[in-house]
Structure 1
Amino acid sequence: MKNQVLNTLKANRGFLVFMASFALLRTAVADWNPIPSGSMRPTLLEGDVVLVNRLAYDLKLPLTDVVLLHLGEPQRGDVVTLSSPAGGARLIKRIVGLPGDRVAVREGQVILNGQPLAYTGAQTHGETLAPGWVVDAVRATEDLAGHPHAVQFLPAVTARRDFAERVVPAGQYFLLGDNRDNSEDSRFIGTVPRENLIGRAHHVLVAADWLGEDGWRLAPRFGRWVTAIR
């Protein structure tokens, strides 16, 4: 039996090396993540698969959060994947506050270091929250300290639209979902330590309609394939 196992390993060593290298690549260099929820609408949609640069900020020991070397600094406006400090779930959010920043939210408007962010181009769309449940969604462009990007508000939904000012601790970041009234972010899970940041999501690789529990609909969104995330 032992010889049989050894022979099998030798016969498939090329494939095994490839799989080990592939696993190392995904855990240390680059990764892709499907978007399962609407917390980043309208920037990211359910059914999008995003590319994540795991070397954007830190070189980590594979399969751990142990940082071996700092490679870059997280910036306001970056869309990042992270391990939630409240339970460890993998999330994707946008960096709004850097270490030392003062962040508050008043009636849905972000106040950064005492200055309210500007919102322009507001338009109302229908948003389906569940089969047969459509509400008005207000989409606008938020100017995040010179980084404009789309955000969405759901006026008809009960949500946390006020957040008392908080100073972001050293080595941590304040993150928000672009779908402000439907996102579990730093208003709920607290600020996020740098070591919990997995990487920066920079492109949508592929996208398709999403049917929730029914799986993937055979309706690719070709217009979103290989598009940069703003």
Structure 2
Amino acid sequence: MEWKPKGWITLLLGILLPPFAFLYVNQGTLFWRYFLLSLVVAVLDYVLHKSIPPSHWLNYVYLNWLFTLVCAVHAYLLCRAYSTQKVRRWYAKWWAIPAIFTIFYSLVFLFRAFCYEPFSIPATSMNPTLKVGEYIIVKKWGFGDYGSYGVTLNNTQVKDESMLQRGEIYVFYPPDSETPYVKRLIGLPGDTIVIEGDVITVNGKVLRTEFLRVDDDNKIYREFLGDKNYLIQRNPNRPVGVFQTVEVPAHHYFFLGDNRDNSRDSRFWGTVSTADFVGEVAMVLAL
């Protein structure tokens, strides 16, 4: 039986699911080309908007809008010129697009839930290491909190606590919070943490710092913790001025933000249980 794609379905798919419109009009090669192009456009949108001031009108314009329009128009023109003599491939049949879409995004969801998930940095608490607007890729396997897009599939404790290392950066849920935080791990179970303003002592050893430079009103230091070192910043005009001694309980961890005078961390809401970890920061996308 001769078959020809319908124009209104083609336009609808071109607007709602841009690359998938080409499957419907029996053009598998164009589907992959447009799919790869959509990834390039997404990256370009991210890079361009990162450099535009928040208040500028261009911050509300996206290349993806033009991409969607081009995709829909191209697919519609192919639909109008479609030859009924062409063999209809399996991916152009009525059940194929819902099936492909469901399988593809199910795999994406499972990958984000169990393996790696991107997060954006919304605040300055980890300056100068992580800046607002940057993306981090979080390794989740082994940390027990498996889910994505607000859906939790499983939530247990960290599988092996030896994977939690001082000086590394982790994502977790602070006590009594449903918002994930990203901070640097300073204290392990059994540690004694003493904080006296700018001076931090771990098990009797003061964390050594080395002054590097001044950025605006902030002083940038290199801090040394065991065999690791990283950058921190302090604002002498508004120091936090916390004085406390913390004994880190079993299966709990003590975190600090690298922006020491502008960070809500374990100095304020206490230690973090192994049941509240999301994962470890594996990569920073600083485009």
Q: Could you say whether these structures have the same fold, taking a TM-score greater than 0.5 normalized by the shorter chain as the test? A: yes
* Deviation per residue, 1:7-62 (Å, 9 max, x gap): 9766511210111111111111100111011000000101110111112x434454
Tell me the distance in 1 between the aligned counterparts of 2:163 and 2:178. Answer: 22
Partner in structure 2 of residue 84 of structure 1: 174
Q: 1:149 aligns with which of 230, 244, 257?
A: 230
Q: Does 1:48 align with 2:173?
A: no
Contact 1:58 1:72 in 2 (8 A): no
User: Which structure dedicates a bigger proportion of its chain to helix?
Assistant: 2
User: Which structure dedicates a bigger proportion of its chain to strand?
Assistant: 1
Partner in structure 2 of residue 37 of structure 1: 123
Identity of aligned residues (%): 29
Question: What CA RMSD, in Å, does the superposition of the two structures yield over aligned residues?
Answer: 2.0
Instruction: Name the SS for the 1:58 alignment partner.
Output: coil
Partner in structure 2 of residue 167 of structure 1: 247
Structure 1 residues 185 and 68: CA distance shift in structure 2, 3 A: closer
Structure 1 residues 120 and 91: CA distance shift in structure 2, 3 A: same
Deviation at 1:69, TM superposition (A): 4.0
Structure 1 residues 68 and 196: CA distance shift in structure 2, 3 A: closer
* 1:129-148 to 2 correspondences below 5 Å: 136-148=217-229
Structure 1 residues 89 and 68: CA distance shift in structure 2, 3 A: closer
Contact 1:105 1:164 in 2 (8 A): yes
Q: Higher mean Cα deviation, 178-187 or 66-75?
A: 66-75
Tell me the distance in 2 between the aligned counterparts of 1:204 and 1:103. Answer: 28
Structure 1 residues 72 and 24: CA distance shift in structure 2, 3 A: farther
Contact 1:59 1:70 in 2 (8 A): no
In structure 1, what residue type is equivalent to 2:234? Answer: F
Structure 1 residues 120 and 25: CA distance shift in structure 2, 3 A: same
Tell me the distance in 2 between the aligned counterparts of 1:105 and 1:98. Answer: 15
Structure 1 residues 196 and 9: CA distance shift in structure 2, 3 A: farther
Partner in structure 1 of residue 163 of structure 2: 73
Instruction: Name the SS for the 1:18 alignment partner.
Output: helix
Partner in structure 1 of residue 143 of structure 2: 58
Q: Which has the higher contact order (CA 8 A, sep 6+)?
A: 1
Deviation at 1:83, TM superposition (A): 1.2
Contact 1:81 1:199 in 2 (8 A): yes
Larger Rg: 2
Contact 1:141 1:150 in 2 (8 A): yes
Instruction: Name the SS for the 2:102 alignment partner.
Output: helix
Q: Which runs of 5+ in 1 are unaligned?
A: 1-6, 127-135, 206-223, 226-230
Structure 1 residues 71 and 166: CA distance shift in structure 2, 3 A: closer
In structure 1, what residue type is equivalent to 2:183? Answer: K
Q: Which runs of 5+ in 2 are unaligned?
A: 1-92
Instruction: Name the SS for the 2:163 alignment partner.
Output: coil
Tell me the distance in 1 between the aligned counterparts of 2:162 and 2:140. Answer: 11
Structure 1 residues 148 and 71: CA distance shift in structure 2, 3 A: closer
Question: Which segments of structure 1 move beyond 4 Å, counting only runs of 4 or more?
Answer: 7-11
Instruction: Name the SS for the 2:155 alignment partner.
Output: coil
Tell me the distance in 2 between the aligned counterparts of 1:179 and 1:13. Answer: 47
